[in-house]
Amino acid sequence: MIKTGSESVHFRIPVNDERQVSAQPGTGWMMRWQTWLLVLVAGFIFSASSMAWSAEVHRMELTHHDFEPWDFVPKPGDRIDIHNHSDIVHAVYVTYPDGTIVNLTETAAQLPNTTVSWTVPADAEDGDEYVFRCWIHTVIRADMKVQVPASQ
Ligand SMILES: [Cu+2]
């Protein structure tokens, strides 16, 4: 009985070892395949996403009849805060390259010393121009060119 038991144990070990040996190349291939898939998917998401770089917050100052010059470079995903520096009401809207108009004030207007925000669309392309204007004061206009960072 003891002999039989040890025999069966002896018999099992080689089978398991054999299985592992024969399964290893397949598993290795699977792991490589999954690794490559992961790399491809991650790479695709990374390169497709405009947010691969960190989004920033910029500030623009709106006076009585103009936007003050800005020195930041707007990138896709960046938020731009527009502060009404004047003592009059404004109603800023942005015209997109495709003609879409987006109002930055959900209610009637932007009161003095208040801030409204606009986020550069994540799918904005390099050189896309967005035009900031005021419904009330048509002289106000700022053309903003988006730059997509070369390196991600
Ligand atoms: Cu205005």
9 C-alpha vs ligand 1 centroid, how far in Å? 88
Range of the domain at 114: 54-145
95 and 36 within one domain = no
Burial degree of 22 (CB within 10 A; 0-12, 13-18, 19+): exposed
Using a CB cutoff of 5 Å, list residues around ligand 1, an ion: 90, 134, 136-137
pLDDT at 26: 63
- Closest alpha carbon to 74 in 119, 26, 136, 132: 119
Any domain includes 136: yes
Any domain includes 150: no
pLDDT at 137: 95
Tell me how many domains the chain contains: 2
pLDDT at 144: 97
Per-residue pLDDT at 139 exceeds 60: yes
The arithmetic mean of pLDDT across residues 78-87, rounded, is 96
113 and 77 within one domain = yes
pLDDT at 78: 97
pLDDT at 5: 46
68 and 120 within one domain = yes
126 C-alpha vs ligand 1 centroid, how far in Å? 28
3 C-alpha vs ligand 1 centroid, how far in Å? 98
**How confident is residue 8, by pLDDT bands cut at 50, 70 and 90?**
very low
73 and 19 within one domain = no
80 and 17 within one domain = no
58 and 41 within one domain = no
133 C-alpha vs ligand 1 centroid, how far in Å? 8
The arithmetic mean of pLDDT across residues 94-105, rounded, is 95
What would the pLDDT profile of 9-18 be if each residue is shown by its tens digit? 444 545 555 5
